[in-house]
Amino acid sequence: MRRRPCPDFRFSGGVCRRGDAVVRVAFGGVIAGEMPVTAVAQDPSSAPVARPAAGPLPLRVAVPAAVAAGLVLLVAFPPYDWWVAAPVGVALLAAAAHRRRVRAGAGLGFLAGLALFAPLLEWTNLHTGMLPWVLLSLSQAAVVALLGAASAWVSPVVDRWRWAWPAVTGVLWVAQEALRSRAPFGGFPWGRLAFSQGDAPTLRLAAWGGAPLVTFAVAVAGGLVVAALWRPWRAGGARVRWAAVGPAVAAVAVLSVGWLVPVGVAGGGATVTVAVVQGNVPRLGLDFNAQRQAVLNNHVQATLDLAAQVAAGQRPQPDLVVWPENASDIDPLRSAAAGERIGVAAAAVRAPILVGAVLVGPGPGQSQNAGILWRPGAGPDLEQMYTKRHPVPFAEYVPLRDVARMVSKEVDRVRSDMVAGDRPGVVDAGAVTVGDVICFEVAYDGLVRDTVTGGAQLLVVQTNNATFDVAEARQQLAMVRVRAVEHGRASLMASTVGVSGFVGADGRVSDATGFNTRAVVSRQLRLGDGRTLATRVGVWPEVALVAVAVAVVAGAAVLRRRRSGAERSRVTVG
C-alpha cells in the first residue's frame, strides 16, 4: 500500500485538509495558474499551510463581465465614439475568460461578440429583414468565441509570465480580426478595434503599421488594465499596490504614444479642387433603385447647380467631380439617354466626373459595380474604369445560391450576381490620380493599399448608404479616417444619401454632410506622392503579430502538457 501524502489529514483532489488547514500537494514544481506548492512533511505539526490557489472569476461575475465587454466595446464605435471604452471592453473579456476551461472561454467570447455585433450591425435589418442581421451577427460572434477560447487556453502562459499578459492580449485580438477579415466568403472586417479610434491618439499609429498596429495597441492597453486589476494584486502591501499601478500607468502611455507619430500627406505634391455630389434618393430602402431615373436626375441636377455656382464665382472650379456608388443604376454605357444626361453634367461643370454606375453583363444574369471616369466632351473613358473587386456576398452576389435558397428564399431578391473586377482602382483623371474603392471595400487593408502602391495620390470611397442608416455611414467614414492616416493621403467619401465628406491625411474630417439630404461640398486637397511606413510594409506587421499569437497558443499547449504530467505524478492515496 502506498504511503499517505499527509498523515492525519483528509486527502482528496491533490489537497490535504484538516479543519481550516488546507495544503495543496504536488511534486515537480509550480502548477501553472496555482500557488507554488511543496511536498507535505510527514509530521502534521510541521506541514506548511498554503492559501487556496486563485481560480477564475466566479461564473456569476464572468457572464455579466463578458456581456458588458461587448456593450462597452460597442460605445467605442460610431455613432457613440467613446474611443477610450475600447481597451476597457478588451480588459473585461480577458478577465472573464482567464483561467476558465476552453469551452467556457468560447461561450463567454460568444456572449461578448453577440453583445457587440448585434447592435453594431443593426442597420443590416432596416430594409432586408431579420435573417441577414441575425446570421451576420452570429457569424461575427462565433469568431469572437474563438478569441475567448484562445484567451482561456493561454492562461498558463499569462500566469507564468504576468508581464506578458498585455502583449498576449494584443496578438490574440489581431489574430481574431485577421480571421474575420478573410473568412468566410472573403471576410467581414467591420468592428475592428482600429475603426473605433478616429478621435484617439492611437489612430496615428496607422501610419506605421496600419489598422493591425492600431488594434494591437488598443488591445495591449486593455491587457494592461486587466493585469492591473486582476485579483491577486489585491493581496495588500505597498509593493503589490505599486505592481498594480504600474500597468495602469503603462496603459495610459500606450494609448498616448501615438502623439509621437508624425502624420500628414506623404511626400506632398500639387493641390487640386475636388467636388463631391450627394444627390440623395427619393426614399430610403431597397427600392431606391426602383427610382433609378430619379436618382440619376438628382445627381445630374446637383452637378448642374454646382456648375452654375462656379460660373457665378460662388464656388471654385473643380478639377474633379465625384458621384457616389449607384448614382446611375441605369447602365450609361448601354442607355444613350443616361449617357447623354451625364455628358451634359460633365460639360456644364467643365471637369471629369467619376460616376458610380451599375453595368449590365458581362454575361447573362451578371452585373458590375463600377466607377467610370466621364470626361467633358469625350464621354466615358473605359481605360479609366474601376470595377469593384470585392462584391458583398448575399447582397451583391449569392454564393452557393441553391443551398442559400434552402435557408431563405429572400436570396432571390438578388436577381443578378455582380462580377468582381481584376485590377486595383487606380484612375487617372488628369489633374489627379485617384485610388478608388467602392463601399465596404474600404474595410479591407489590401484593396486600399493596392491603389496607393499603384500610384494613387488621393483616396476616394464611393458608397451608397440608402439601404442603411446614419450609424452605418459614420462607421464607414471612421474607416476612411484610418486609411487616410495609414497611407498619408487626403481622402473623401461620396455617398448617395450621406454621410459624405473629406478626410485629411491626419484623420480630421471636414465638410461632412447630413444624412438623407442633397448636398454638394468642395475642397482644395494636397496630393500625396510618397509612401508611409505602413504603405511600404503592407501586410507584414499583421503577419508578424499573428505568428506570435500562434506561438503563444503553442507555448500554452506545452505548459498544459507539463501541468498534466505534474498532476499525474502526485502521490495518491493507496
Active-site positions read: 325, 388, 439
Phi, psi of 495 (to 5 degrees): -120, 150
* Torsion from C-alpha of 397, 401, 406, 411, nearest 10 degrees: 30
* Helix, strand, or coil (residue 22): strand
Give the span between the Cα atoms of 353 and 297, in whole angstroms: 15
Cell reading at 540: 507584414
CA–CA gap between residue 218 and residue 88 (Å, rounded): 9
335-366 in b/e burial notation, b at 16+ Cβ within 10 A? beebbebbbebbebbebbbbbbbbbeeeeeee
Place of cell 509530521: 43
Longest dimension (CA), the chain: 105
Determine contact, residues 487/503, Cβ cutoff 8 Å: no
Distance CA 424, CA 339 (A): 25
Question: Under a CB-based contact definition with an 8 Å cutoff, are residues 317 and 350 in contact?
Answer: yes
Dist. CA 409–CA 241, nearest whole Å: 60
- Rg for the chain, CA atoms, rounded: 28
Q: Match 480577458 to its residue by C-alpha cell.
A: 94
Task: Compute the distance between CA of residue 119 and CA of residue 114 in angstroms, rounded to an integer.
Answer: 8
Task: Give the neighbor-by-neighbor strand order of the sheet with 501-503.
Answer: 426-428, 433-438, 458-463, 491-495, 501-503, 509-510
Cα–Cα distance for residue pair 320/372, rounded to 1 Å: 13
**How far is 471 from 358, CA to CA, in rounded Å?**
25
Q: Which residues of 218-242 are buried (b: 16+ CB within 10 A; e: fewer)?
A: bbbbbbbbbbbebeebeeeeeeeee
